[in-house]
Amino acid sequence: MKISCFLFAFLLFFNISSLYSAPKYLRLSYTGDTATSVAILWNTDTDTGSLVKYGKKSGNYTMSANGTSFKANGALNYVHEVILTGLEPDTTYYYIAGSDSDGFSKENSFKTGPVENNECGEFSFGYLGDNRPDPTFGGGENWPQILDQCAAHNPDFTINGGDLIIDGDQIDQWVKFLGWTEKVASKIPFMPAIGNHDDGPGQGDSANYNQIFALPRSAGNFGSDTEDYYYFTYGNAIFVSLSTQTFKDGSIPFEKQAKWLDEVLTNNPRKWKFVYYHHPTYTKNVVFDISHVPNEVKQNAAFVPVFDKHHVDIVFTSHNHWYERFEPSACATSGNPGSDQPCSVGANSFDKGTVYVVSGGAGAFTIPGLLCGTMKGRAKCSGDHHYIIVKIRNETLTYEAYSAYPQQNKIMDSFTITKTKGNCILSPDAGYEDITADIPADIISRDTDEKDASADVFLMDIQDTSVQTDTGFYEDIPDITEEDSSADDRISDDIINNDILIADEESGRDIINGTDITNGYDINISKDSSASIQDDSAGCGCSLLK
């Protein structure tokens, strides 16, 4: 009798609970003005209402907005989308999502972007790529920990170079990804590029990737009217996500996307310009084809001329599971736009070329750093898992690449670019609300002998004497001391001293503060960025890439 009563109670509870469909997998993104709007998405198992309640104080939801839902592929079930508009710039909002009938999510918060301005803006963003797991080779489910480490820097949003999962056709993999990503993506907008593992089934709105995210659609004569490639602006910067997996049409591969990109950059002038996509423009192909070849899908001939024309500051790519940063390059300007190799314009000539980055270490097994070897025009290579944080403060860009879980969390590469000053007022840094207080302590390392990756306070070793030469390799130079005034005769044209690049008078740069007198660029490279690539043998193993 007791068993029957227990069984009856269980079945009654199951039947009642099945009538309700709680929201899950909350995620934020941008589809419009980043200063005044945000998209909020979530999934439910049954078709319910799409309602967001929000306000400027925690627990006090004075506003609400309704949205739409649709039946997505398979076990993705119902995707809900609510676009909040008319928000105040640079303001924190608290929200819950769901429906009055089926309940709401727990409270989350987000911060709107600054008022858009071509010249001025203060914000930061994170870049990650290839966060897919590698169960075939023994696990590699590192994405949640690495994303948490990135989120600890409180970026305003993150962009991603693709390969979010292993097989875009497999809905169970997307469900895992959404579960792993929700804690951060429910607070920090997530803006991905499509990778070669992410597509399917079909193309455009029928693909799982496109059903899961709310992204801007490319429009105009050369747009696709899909979310496969798109752009958004934030503060004084523009971000363009291209697709090297789909829409390859044109007289040369990707010509249509390149023409769209040219229009977008022409019509949206910004001080800072960033482009990101999956397949690397430049990279090193290592033994046994463990890494992919550069320009694998033949995108360079179409894209690079546009990058050079508009002087894109940084191009982020993924696909190869390690970290590479190349010296500023301008192959179209040099007359070879389709080159598979970079065309360096000088190790620190940020005003004359584009920095190309390969970042594929946000979860998948990485290529061992001992295979980095040497490559002309490459400034840094590492086999560590990693993520990137970029900070913009008006005319100054600070770039920091961090090694990440399961390696020690610390800066492994950095540089600073300062452009000509605009009429901008620097505001004090008021700090951010800590949205990652629940991250386990063992995930965020605090090694005070290195640059602390979880706080922007660095202990600098000014005795470091490694310097990058114009050949792209690294040498040791003698330390300059007051007692050794003859050291000047033994120094190459460019030296690193107390973390500030100093050059001789012939270079046209101010020898006191590193400012390029001829073009207004202040060039600053940290000691970590000048570590020998020969000595960087970290990495957690290699995977067979496809």
Chain-centre distance of CA 382, in angstroms?
Answer: 17
Which one-letter amino acid corresponds to residue 151?
A
Q: Residue 297: is it exposed, middle or buried by C-beta count within 10 angstroms (0-12/13-18/19+)?
A: middle
Do 347 and 206 share a structural domain? Answer: yes
Domain of residue 285, CATH code: 3.60.21.10
**194 lies in some domain:** yes
Taking 3-state DSSP, the helix, strand and coil percentages for the chain, each rounded to the nearest 5, stand at: 20, 25, 55
Q: pLDDT value at position 137?
A: 59
User: Is residue 292 classed as helix, strand or coil in its secondary structure?
Assistant: coil
The CATH number of whichever domain residue 80 belongs to comes to 2.60.40.380
Average pLDDT of every residue of the chain: 81
Q: Assess if residue 150 is contained within a domain.
A: yes
The verdict on residue 288 lying in a domain is yes
Q: How far is CA 285 from its chain centroid?
A: 23
Q: Specify whether 340 is located in the same domain as 477.
A: no
Query: How many domains in the chain?
Result: 3
The kind and range of the H/E element at 84 are: strand 78-84
pTM for the full predicted model: 0.79
Q: Say how far apart CA 367 and CA 321 lie, in whole Å.
A: 6
SS (H, E, C) 277-288: CCCCCCCCCCHH
Give yes or no for a contact between 58 and 15, defined as CB atoms under 8 angstroms apart: no
Q: Are the beta carbons of 128 and 147 closer than 8 angstroms?
A: yes
Q: Which of 65, 86, 111 is the last residue of a domain?
A: 111
For residue 315, the model assigns a pLDDT of: 98
Q: Would you state the pLDDT for residue 426?
A: 56
- Residue 260 sits in the same domain as residue 328: yes
Helix/strand/coil for 79: strand
pLDDT, tens digit (0-9, with 9 covering 90-100), for 50-82 = 999 999 999 999 999 999 999 999 999 999 999
| Regions of the chain where pLDDT drops below 70 | 1-20, 136-140, 426-546
- pLDDT at position 141 is 84
pLDDT, position 202? 82
Q: Which domain holds residue 453?
A: 122-458
In sequence order, the 6+-apart residues with CB closer than 8 A to the CB of 289 are: none
Of 408, 438, 458, the residue at which a domain comes to its end is 458
* Residue 541 belongs to some domain of the structure: no
Last residue of a domain, one of 433, 458, 483: 458
Same domain as 52, residue 154: no
Do 496 and 435 belong together in one domain? Answer: no
Asked if residue 241 is part of any domain, the answer here is yes
Same domain for 218 and 148, yes or no, is: yes
Q: Is residue 332 part of a domain?
A: yes
The pLDDT score that the predictor gives to residue 20 is 61
Within this chain, do residues 319 and 212 fall inside the same structural domain, yes or no?
A: yes
| Backbone dihedral region for residue 185 (phi beyond 0: left; psi -120 to 50: alpha; all else: beta) | alpha
The structure tokens 């949640």 sit at 144
DSSP per position, 292-331: PPTTTTS-HHHHHHHHHHHT-SEEEE-SSSSEEEE--B-T
Round to whole Å and give the CA distance between 385 and 18.
41
Considering the domain architecture, whether residues 500 and 438 belong to the same structural domain is answered as no
Q: Do residues 361 and 479 share a domain? A: no
Q: Which helix (H) or strand (E) holds 248?
A: none
Q: Are residues 152 and 234 in the same domain?
A: yes
Query: In this structure, are 199 and 158 located in the same domain?
Result: yes
Based on the fold, state whether residues 27 and 95 are members of the same structural domain.
yes
pLDDT at 197: 94
Query: Has residue 12 been placed in a domain?
Result: no
Q: Is residue 6 part of a domain?
A: no
**CA nearest 134: which of 543, 439, 445?**
543
